[in-house]
Amino acid sequence: MSERSLRGTQLGSRSLETEEGVEPAPRQMVEFECEDGTRFKVPFSIEAEVPSTWDSGIHGVGHRVGVNEPDGEPGKHVRSHWDMLLERRSFDELQVLLDERLAVRRGEVPAQA
């Protein structure tokens, strides 16, 4: 019974809603230029933060036309394992630990539990 009711409706291929009364969000066209001189435009919402660079997908990364300086926001420094280790121990303490472990590895000192 349910198969007959869906037959011929092309489920998912077309919307049954009309575009009457629908207004698209306001847009701005931003122009970028690649190093090889190629210019391209990308639409952005009026409310969006426009980046100073954009990847064209063909010619590489383009810089925004009319903006001389890159983004002034420095990237957040990602702490590595080494950085976190140096927060807990000094370099001299780490050198002593390394020497002890190398001596155990070489068989010069028996390993302790």
Report the CATH number that the domain containing residue 37 is assigned in CATH: 2.20.28.270
Q: Is the pLDDT of residue 109 over 80?
A: no
pLDDT at 100 (0 to 100):
93
Do 60 and 83 lie in one domain? The reply is: no
Count the helices and strands in the chain (H runs, E runs). 3, 4
Do 31 and 54 lie in one domain? The reply is: yes
Do 60 and 85 lie in one domain? The reply is: no
Q: Residue 103 domain-assigned?
A: yes
Q: Residue 6 domain-assigned?
A: no
Q: Total domain count for the chain?
A: 2
Q: Residue 3 domain-assigned?
A: no
- Domain ranges, residue 48: 27-64
Measured on CA atoms in the order 10, 15, 17, 19, is the torsion positive or negative?
negative
Task: Express each pLDDT in 68-89 by its tens digit.
Answer: 655 556 667 888 998 999 999 9
Q: Residue 18 domain-assigned?
A: no
Distances (CA, A) of 92 to 27, 83, 105: 59, 15, 20
Q: Which amino acid is at 33?
A: E
Q: Residue 101 domain-assigned?
A: yes
pLDDT range class, residue 21, cuts 50, 70, 90: confident
Q: Which residues of 14-41 are buried (b: 16+ CB within 10 A; e: fewer)?
A: eeeeeeeeeeeeeeeebebbbeeeeeee
Instruction: Provide φ and ψ at 87, rounded to 5°.
Output: -75, -30
Long-range (24+ apart) CB contacts under 8 A made by 98-107 are none
Q: Residue 36 domain-assigned?
A: yes
Euclidean distance between CA atoms 89 and 1, whole angstroms: 74
Task: Express each pLDDT in 26-48 by its tens digit.
Answer: 999 999 999 888 999 999 999 99
Measured on CA atoms in the order 33, 34, 35, 36, is the torsion positive or negative?
negative
Q: What is the pTM of this model?
A: 0.44
